Structure 1
Amino acid sequence: MGASFARRGPLSAGFYEFLRFGIKQGWACLFGGILLGLIIATRLWYPQHAALPRYDALVIACIIVQVALIWFGLETLEEAKVILVFHVVGTIMELFKTSIGSWHYPEASYLRLAGVPLFSGFMYAAVGSYLFRVWRLFDFRFTRHPPLWTLILLSAAIYLNFFADHFGFDARWALVAASALLFSRTTVFFKVWKVHRRMPLLLGFFLVALFIWFGENIGTGAGAWLYPNQVGGWAMVSPSKLTSWFLLMLISYTLVAAAMWRSARPAGEQSAPQIEGGPA
């Protein structure tokens, strides 16, 4: 198909590459897209007084989807292990955030820890799943990528700040600035079709955070969870949450990068796979 578009000239070839980019991105979002679709579908059609609460049905559905991804080779066991780690990391944070009223889950469920239904962890896992899949599908390469140990330190500081900001110490903007400084010279090269294209990695991070924020608005609109200002009626999630998703996404990126580099590099190396140049 690509060859026929290429023969029609550069505009046609560019359209095909753009279309291919969208399809690849959609494929990378497979788990997150399915989860969001399930949240919307259960909001619209799940019986209100069913013996199995809606949240619990979502847990079971997510487990089935996760098993299917591994069974059909769309996700490896190594990837599933890392995604499970992010699931646990996210659930721990959910326990803290819901206990102090940052947001809450309005519906009853059996499969929960304190006030946190277990399906919530899959929302964090969806971010890790996307990063794994997009990394593979677009054959990521980097120039001037910071070493892994710096990402680990940054991610640890980000995670601690999600708790510390409720005790009068919020270093969020300092962490955003540190992230911008750390990745200021990093370029990601991604292959859509025939050649690798380039983009500042920071821009990629922002775009991922933006689309997570879009998904969050859909999720709260479907009543999966609610912020205090949404209890009386749905309202758009504050754009200030973009910084939270940007920072949280960096934690996921660190976990995924560590797994990808471990499988791609000799044991003991902690630098990113890099290329020194690439086509524009």
Structure 2
Amino acid sequence: MTSTIQNEVRLTSNPIVKRILQLFHFGWEQALSCIFPVVVFASLAITKMIPLPFLPRYDWLLIIFLLMQWWMLKSGLETRDELKVITLFHLIGLGLEIFKVHMGSWSYPEEGYMKIFGVPLYSGFMYASVASYLCQAWRRLHVELVKWPPFILVVPLAAAIYLNFFTHHFWIDIRYWLAGLVLIVFWKSWVKYEVNGITYRMPIALSFVLIGFFVWIAENIATFFGAWQYPNQADTWQLVHIGKVSSWVLLVIVSFLIVATLKLVKQKNKLEFRHLDNTLGKE
């Protein structure tokens, strides 16, 4: 399908049709990058409507997500390095979930054998699905970073954003100060990506907001199908407050910064290895 769209883009001379085809191809690549999140939402919907036997719903979700992860690795849709990143996000997300449930921010009211401190183990996969999307889109769209800030700024900023999810329960919430810092640090930073060999670019801060907004939409779908429950959704489902977009934008920033940092470190190591190999070859 991808090659068909590419041929149509090359053959057409109409600029409007070409833009529409490019947009469609971009959407198709985005859809392929979302394969794991799609499985997450489909599983939430199916297990909500059709009860499965022998095990509680939360445990079936964990089994489904583990099998999906195994299949993506075996089929080549996911690399071992990407699996490591996704596992890291699973642990980061699970830690955040345990704390938030303990503080009463939301809950997992259904039964489950595979729970830690009231949090089902499948919950970490919802954070991992964001990392899966980022890794897939990075590879499919040939993402490049332009004027990326130094690690000495990026790493503490990511850590401060993540810690604020915990500390704002005991201290002031500094999310908007952190958002301002993000704009300052990434003011000159862009992300470049390819669609059918044509390069586009977007301010990184804008990409954070767009991804965060779509994650908020996904959160509404997830809570509708009972993935977790906010206090105001105990009696009947309600739309998640629009203010949660800011939380998701910040979480997306943390996710993006971790993925980008790991990608850049790996790229730097490859370049150093090649340089060393060339040096030894000359000797």
Normalising by the residue count of structure 1, what TM-score does the alignment of the two structures yield?
0.91
**Alignment: residue pair count:** 267
Q: How far has the Cα of 1:260 moved from its partner? A: 1.3
Select 1:88's aligned residue among 87, 91, 96: 91
Aligned to 1:275: none
Aligned to 1:222: 225
Structure-to-structure mapping, 1:115-130, within 5 angstroms: 115-130=118-133
Q: How far has the Cα of 1:21 moved from its partner? A: 0.4
Within 2, Cα distance between the matches of 1:41 and 1:212? 20
Question: Retained in 1: the 8 A contact 2:9–2:22?
Answer: no
Q: Tell me, which stretches of 5 or more residues in structure 1 are unaligned? A: 270-280
Aligned to 2:42: 37
Q: How far has the Cα of 1:177 moved from its partner? A: 0.8
Within 2, Cα distance between the matches of 1:68 and 1:266? 29
* Greater helix content: 2
Flag the structure with more relative contact order, 1 or 2, with Cα contacts below 8 A and sequence separation at least 6: 1
Q: How far has the Cα of 1:182 moved from its partner? A: 1.1
Q: How far has the Cα of 1:71 moved from its partner? A: 0.5
Select 2:82's aligned residue among 79, 83, 93: 79
Tell me the percent identity.
38
The one-letter amino acid paired with 2:25 is: R
User: Residues 166-185 of structure 1: CA distance to partner in whole angstroms, max 9, x if unpaired?
Assistant: 00321111111111111111
Normalising by the residue count of structure 2, what TM-score does the alignment of the two structures yield?
0.90
Note the aligned Cα RMSD (angstroms).
Answer: 1.5
Structure-to-structure mapping, 1:136-151, within 5 angstroms: 136-151=139-154
Question: Retained in 2: the 8 A contact 1:141–1:189?
Answer: yes
Select 1:18's aligned residue among 6, 10, 23: 23
Aligned to 2:134: 131
Structure-to-structure mapping, 1:193-212, within 5 angstroms: 193-212=196-215
Within 1, Cα distance between the matches of 2:64 and 2:243? 31
Question: Retained in 1: the 8 A contact 2:65–2:122?
Answer: yes
Structure-to-structure mapping, 1:1-280, within 5 angstroms: 1=4, 2-9=6-13, 10-47=15-52, 50-266=53-269
User: Residues 194-231 of structure 1: CA distance to partner in whole angstroms, max 9, x if unpaired?
Assistant: 21111111111111101100110000001111101111
Structure 1 runs (4+) greater than 3 angstroms displaced: 266-269
